[in-house]
Amino acid sequence: MKQKEKKSENHFVDPLYQLFEHNLFHRSYDDIGAFTREVAEEYISYLDSTDAHVPFQVRANLLKDLENEAHEMLIKKMYGCSKTKDYLGMGSVASPESEVEGRPLPENLKKSNAGK
């Protein structure tokens, strides 16, 4: 019975993987670099549309990291090593009010979000 509960909790597919698959199946690219950059930029746009905050100082590093992640996904997909189940339960943007791993949010973070 607990296995069924675990499966239902992990129905959320990583948005980066969703963007990756969408671009892979619906768009055409001249090279791998253009593909991975587009996936990374779309993921950052997704993050900007949520409550997540990405400081300006780390955006360039994040973009490069996401490009590398998309490149790894592409290589795994090309050689048959990638499965959707590998990306279940990953990448969800948590609300700052929610508890993380059963622990309440630290008081300093609760105060900064009190006006929202």
Token pair for 7: 């499966």
Q: 41: number of CA atoms within 13 Å, CB side?
A: 7
pLDDT at 83 (0 to 100): 66
pLDDT mean values, one per 10 residues, the chain (116 residues): 47 86 88 93 94 92 96 86 63 51 52 44
Residue of 92, 70, 77, 96 whose CA lies nearest to 11 = 92
User: Exposed, middle or buried: residue 71 (CB in 10 Å: 0-12, 13-18, 19+)?
Assistant: middle
Q: Which residue has the tokens 């909790």?
A: 9
